[in-house]
Amino acid sequence: MDTSAYKLDVPQKKKRNKKKIVLIVLGIIIIIGVILFIFANVYINRTLPQVEGEIELPMLEQEVTVITDENGVPHIQAANEHDLYIAQGYIQAQDRIFQMEMSRRQASGTLSEIVGESAVDHDKYFRSLGLRRAAEKSYDIYTDESKEVLQWFADGVNQYINEAKENNTLPIEFTLMGAVPAEWTPLDSLTIGKYMAFDLGGHWERQAFNYYVMNNFEEEKAYELFPSYPEEKPTIIGDNEIDIASSFEKAVIPHAFNGSNNWVVSGEKTASGMPLLADDPHLGLATPSIWLQMHLETEDINVSGVIFAGVPGIILGHNENIAWGVTNTGPDVQQLYMEKRNPENPHEFLFEDVWEEADVIDEPIKVKDSETIDYQVVETRHGPIISEFAEDSGKDTVLSLRWTALDPTTELEAILDINKAQNWEEFEAGLEKFLAPAQNFVFASTDGTIAYKANGNIPIYENGDDALLPLPGWEADHEWNGFIPFDELPRVVNPDKGFIATANNKIAGDDYPYHISNVWAQPYRYERIAEVLESSNDLTAETMMDLQMDVGNLQAREFVPIFSDVLGGVELTEIETEAMELLNDWDFMDEAGYAQPLIFHNWMDEMEALLYNDEIPENVRGLFGSRAQTTDELLRKAASGDGSIWIEENGGIEEVLHSALKNTLTDLEEEHGEAMSEWQWGDYHKVQFHHPLSGIHPVLAFFFNNEKSMSVGGSSVTPMAASYDASDGEVDHGASWRFVIDMNDTSRGHHIVGPGQSGHFKSDWYHDQMDDWVEGNYHETKLDGVEGKRLELVP
């Protein structure tokens, strides 16, 4: 029998069999993958917040209705405050419990318990600051009524936590972190409030920087870097041996751009004949948003706005009769003190020739997969020691921090009071309890009143220059002399000009009897806002929304002509000439599609690098807050002929401008190509709202970040605030919430909460407002006639 054909078919059959096996294996893998995907999807979907149907909450007295509107805003309607705040706690926890857990750990210094050794330095710093200890002291002075609200809110949070643990429906982030949330307490809410005071800062780092330059440069050269405010710019109410570099190398320093815009306009300047109010706080941009928008309603309360996840009430917003917004006042509420340590007793410090015993507080730090660290915090009469340099250098002087937020304060009581206020008098009475952080409040009411108050505990300095440097802690003459009396804080009611605006600019002229601050934001945002508000007596809510999205750059409007004039006698290359022609033809709008803002802002950044990088160490530059304002002043002085040591030592104003321009254009050509006509600000200046776990792995970034970076206009000096990291152009700070209301109809307000309401990445409201944030598309939120998904919370 001829078997040749059979022999030839054997390899082919083997190949076919291998293919079948491969296909079978692939099929099994795909099936397993599909099953796992379906299982994961079903599991993850089970963890989504419930917004329809019915949930039993045994501690309720009566039924509570929660209507979630088309933008994900929960409208909570309760018969009494007990049920209202229980429901608010439950609803917040449903959507933001992971954020709440991370926030209280960050503020309390307990991240190491779930993160591990990488968070130890962070925890040491926050244990030293003692935000939770300050919250404990604050809780002791709260009224019984406010303590009840805190406990009701915590009860609602804990009801959700217990249910989620029992039903295995905690958000996936907890599984990834290998953690579960502990019981929520009133102290957690107050500690988060203290963290917001920390995030808004108070200039201790600038004192440390000033001390560094005073000890490392000649006096005149050092003084050039001290903070100053440009003359004739508008205000709101009229006219020892310390190694700083090593002391604060591991300090957590808030972003220098944490500012805001707000303004209020009299009905005399509006189309409706009633006041308009606008507010957009500038904070870190992340997923989920720092704010949660909510509407709370009982027979006595009907208030809408935003709150920090983990805190009851509404901190910014409106009710039927009033509206309000805030910006950071930025006063000198933090003071570094140099302390002389007793060489024979490390826990004693000198004061008026007497050794005083400091408080030594045990703060053991539990570390995931490692041993607990026996950590101790030392507090002098001024506050916690926040420099650890003494052990390294062997000297007997250390630095402690006196800070108003570490005192007992009652911000939650203020929030609860102003939520119910019906007029300016009631609102201002509530502000008396809002002590830290100090904020610029603007106010409008349906009776036509517009008002402003810089509110909070602001220390009295006999000499404002004292707040520029660390002070000798051993001399009584340098102690704070109390706080500016409440009735003497900066205040404006119904001004003749018809509007009040703040943008972290200087708030009081030389005739104001008290020192407020040495450090202010550059005036450009305020000037642009005032320019628009002054230009019309027919302003509308739409005008206000447009102004919040305005990208007018008054810094460029001031400096481009100056730079052009200085370089007028310099022989420029072809590309340099093209760049200057573009800048001179610019309308000074920081539009995403323009090349000019890309050139201008990178040029300014390059000038800062040229002036400071070689002489000031990188870790010290981190303490150089508001340096852009200092750079502006150096450039003004040099261009006007007054001279600047820092600029002269770099070859003079002409050389500094030309060298920085040349370097800038070289870098931009490498990054964006030789065709300058195709350069766009938005190719560099992009926004992404990062989730805290997205940096762990690209897969997590894909799920949690959800969207690619988006091109965006604006900058740190435009009303549409969009501050960026100069290393890559990523926008990391800006309007965390935008709000506009016409007091002619207080039943509705206009909002943007970027990137969205929800903290759950599978929610429809997770990143649904990213495009809105970039493009300025607002949604309306109503106080009545609300439609949406209906959830009943029943006893």
User: Is 70 exceeded by the pLDDT of residue 246?
Assistant: no
Say what the alpha-carbon torsion angle 285, 288, 290, 296 is, to the nearest 10 degrees. 140
- Tell me the C-alpha distance between 179 and 367, whole Å: 13
- Tell me the C-alpha distance between 681 and 553, whole Å: 13
- Tell me the C-alpha distance between 696 and 691, whole Å: 10
User: Is 60 exceeded by the pLDDT of residue 616?
Assistant: yes
- Tell me the C-alpha distance between 236 and 475, whole Å: 35
DSSP string for residues in 642-684:
S--HHHHTTT-HHHHHHHHHHHHHHHHHHHH-S-GGG--HHHH
User: Is 60 exceeded by the pLDDT of residue 11?
Assistant: no
Q: What is the mean pLDDT of residues 238-264?
A: 62
Instruction: Tell me which of 29-38, 610-619, 636-645 is least confident.
Output: 29-38
pLDDT-derived band at 387 (thresholds 50, 70, 90) equals confident
Which pLDDT value is given to residue 622?
Answer: 87
Helical (H) or strand (E) element with 640: helix 627-640
Amino acid at 610: L
- Tell me the C-alpha distance between 409 and 567, whole Å: 54
Burial class (CB in 10 A: 0-12, 13-18, 19+), 557: middle
Token duo for residue 533: 């508000």
pLDDT-derived band at 40 (thresholds 50, 70, 90) equals low
Q: Higher pLDDT residue, 701 or 268? A: 268
∠ CA 541-545-550, nearest 5°, is 140
- Tell me the C-alpha distance between 360 and 380, whole Å: 9
Residue 557's contacts (CB-CB under 8 Å, 6 or more residues apart) are: 588
- At residue 416, φ and ψ (nearest 5 deg) are -65, -35
- Tell me the C-alpha distance between 455 and 432, whole Å: 8
Per-residue model confidence as pLDDT tens digits over 709-719: 999 999 999 99
Q: Which residues are catalytic, by number?
A: 260
What average pLDDT does the chain have? 91
Per-residue model confidence as pLDDT tens digits over 722-774: 999 998 999 999 999 999 999 999 999 999 999 999 999 999 999 999 999 99
Region class of 454: left (phi > 0), else alpha (psi between -120 and 50), else beta: beta
Amino acid at 336: L
Among residues 466, 468, 421, 465, which one has the least CA distance to residue 441? Answer: 421
- Tell me the C-alpha distance between 478 and 303, whole Å: 44
DSSP string for residues in 513-542:
SS---S----THHHHHHHHHHHT-S-B-HH
Burial class (CB in 10 A: 0-12, 13-18, 19+), 159: buried
Token duo for residue 730: 């990523």
Residue 607: CA atoms inside 13 Å, Cβ hemisphere, count? 27
Q: What is the mean pLDDT of residues 80-107?
A: 98
Q: In whole angstroms, how far apart are CA 125 and each of 508, 529, 558?
A: 34, 38, 41
Which pLDDT value is given to residue 701?
Answer: 85
Place of tokens 């045994």: 58
Q: Are 709 and 730 in contact (CB under 8 A)?
A: yes
Which pLDDT value is given to residue 247?
Answer: 54
Prediction pTM value: 0.92
Instruction: Tell me which of 3-12, 209-218, 550-559 is least confident.
Output: 3-12
Burial class (CB in 10 A: 0-12, 13-18, 19+), 84: buried
- Any idea which fold 554-685 has? 1.10.1400
User: Is 80 exceeded by the pLDDT of residue 92?
Assistant: yes
Where do the domains of the chain lie?
20-49, 554-685
3-state secondary structure 159-221: HHHHHHHHHCCCCHHHHHHCCCCCCCCHHHHHHHHHHHHHHCCCCHHHHHHHHHHHHHCCHHH
Q: Is 332 annotated as a binding residue?
A: yes
The maximal CA–CA distance of the chain, rounded, in angstroms, is 119
pLDDT-derived band at 540 (thresholds 50, 70, 90) equals very high
User: Is 50 exceeded by the pLDDT of residue 512?
Assistant: yes
Angle between the N-to-C axes of helices 554-566 and 627-640, in degrees from 0 to 180, rounded to the nearest 10:
40
Per-residue model confidence as pLDDT tens digits over 397-419: 789 999 999 999 999 999 999 99
